[in-house]
Amino acid sequence: MKSNTPIIVKTFHGLETVLAEELKALGASNTRLLKRAVSCTGDLALIYRANYELRTALRVLIPIHTFEVSNERAYYRAVREVEWNQYLDVSGTLAVDAVLSGGIFRHSQYMALLTKDAIVDYYRDRYARRPNINPEAPHLRVHARIHGSKCTLLLDASGDSLHKRGYRRDTVEAPLNEVLAAGLVLLSGWNDTGPFVDPMCGSGTIAIEAALLAANIPPQRTRSSFGFFRWKNFDRKLWERVKAEADARVKQPIFPIYASDKEGRARNATAINLLSAGLEGLVQVQKIPFEKLSPPEAAGVLITNPPYDERLRLEDVACFYKVIGNRLKKAWSGWTAWIISSNREALNYIGLQPSQKMILYNGALECVFQKFELHKNDQRD
Ligand SMILES: C[S@@+](CC[C@H](N)C(=O)[O-])C[C@H]1O[C@@H](n2cnc3c(N)ncnc32)[C@H](O)[C@@H]1O
């Protein structure tokens, strides 16, 4: 692949800016913010690095052909014209998906089938044989993105979504997506710049992503395979070099990281996940309600994802968020607290003025991620 290969990296809404910063730090050129994605250019090493080291990436895609068509026949012909042989041998396996927006074409499943037919017919023409379909672990996964009449064919370098780091062995209620959790930590600006606490840690995702960041551990260190491993041009030596370089930058964090929860089950799940992430000893885990937790030391960052609990009556949730606010004011002065919740009404009961607000999505739920600077004069009682 050329040194200025176009690359598109997908992420969640609201994480585009931190993803672009991550890409620049890896050496990407021409970064541009898109909707739930960042585009850039780079070489094969950057594609490997992006998969291995990006914390806020969901998928790394390589656009190989962009064209405009106004009907299905023209679409089929345009897909069939691509020199697929440079990406996939006829004996290899293939998977195709399609995402549509805008008017002309109506059914994404049908467009995925049409794309697959066009690719398969390209091989039939030349070899009187065709690649087989393997939806799980194909040699080549092709995405068709069709926006109105504008179509792009992309190769998926990641395979499984990059949020699947491979460390999650146990979960309790409503675990955050790993990419979102890493995004929260990066958006807060914390990077081993002081003590870190998640006092309602659930399965520990936020504290684990914070520890991976603080220790410079590549987020995919425990993952065993990527889509590009099965590519025709897979350069094992280059991959091993990229991996070895990233692994060599692992360091001991300076500041402590704490995760706690009122439930013993959550403490246990967090401990298991920490162990499988190879982070034992880097995060101190405790079973304690937030109301009783005191800051471990002066001035740090607290990030937490309390229950949004739509099942509770508002008075209960309101009361719960009021307790959080009072505790922050009383015991956590000097700290910066970040809280993500989909329950805007409940967030008002924290009773502190947020200095920053960002809209993020936890699955389909629109959430607000709010920053609270806890000054001495916030203290009550
Ligand atoms: C939405 S879950 C957090 C999920 C977590 N971010 C993850 O990725 O797994 C909320 C957690 O808050 C905990 N919790 C609720 N009330 C609490 C309290 N008063 N003190 C400490 N933890 C509490 C629950 O036990 C639950 O594990």
Domain ranges of the chain: 5-156, 178-217+234-378
14 lines ligand 1 (CB under 6 A): no
178-217+234-378 homologous superfamily: Vaccinia Virus protein VP39 (3.40.50.150)
Distance from the CA of 303 to the center of ligand 1, in angstroms?
12
Looking at residue 298, what is its pLDDT?
A: 77
For the Cβ of 183 lying below 6 angstroms from any atom of ligand 1, the answer is no
Measured from the Cα of 306, ligand 1's closest atom is 10
3-state DSSP: the chain helix, strand, coil percent, rounded to 5?
A: 35, 25, 40
Give the β-pairing of 257-261 and 140-147.
unpaired
Three-state DSSP at 252 gives coil
| Helix, strand, or coil (residue 52) | helix
Does residue 186's CB lie within 6 angstroms of at least one atom of ligand 1?
A: no
Partners of 193 in beta bridges: none
Expressed in angstroms and rounded, the spacing between residue 131 Cα and the centre of ligand 1 is 48
The neighbouring-strand residues paired with 151 are 67, 146
d(Cα 330, Cα 284) in Å, to the nearest integer?
23
Ligand 1 in reach of 205 Cβ (< 6 A):
yes
Q: Is 202 in the pocket of ligand 1 (CB under 6 A)?
A: yes
CA 202 to ligand 1 centroid distance, Å? 5
Say if CB 92 and CB 142 are below 8 A apart: no
Dig out the tokens for 138 from the structure.
């194909």
Helix (H) or strand (E) holding 260: strand 257-261
CATH of 5-156, one of 1.10.275.10, 3.30.2130.30, 3.90.1150.10, 3.40.50.2300: 3.30.2130.30
Kindly state the greatest CA–CA separation across the chain.
82
What predicted TM-score, i.e. pTM, was given to this entire model? Answer: 0.95
* Residues in the chain, total: 381
Mean pLDDT by 10 residues, the chain (381 residues): 92 98 98 98 98 98 97 96 97 97 86 97 96 96 95 97 93 92 98 97 97 98 94 98 98 97 96 95 97 91 90 76 96 97 93 97 96 77 42
Q: Smallest Cα–Cα separation from 153: which of 52, 8, 50?
A: 8
pLDDT at 380 (0 to 100): 47
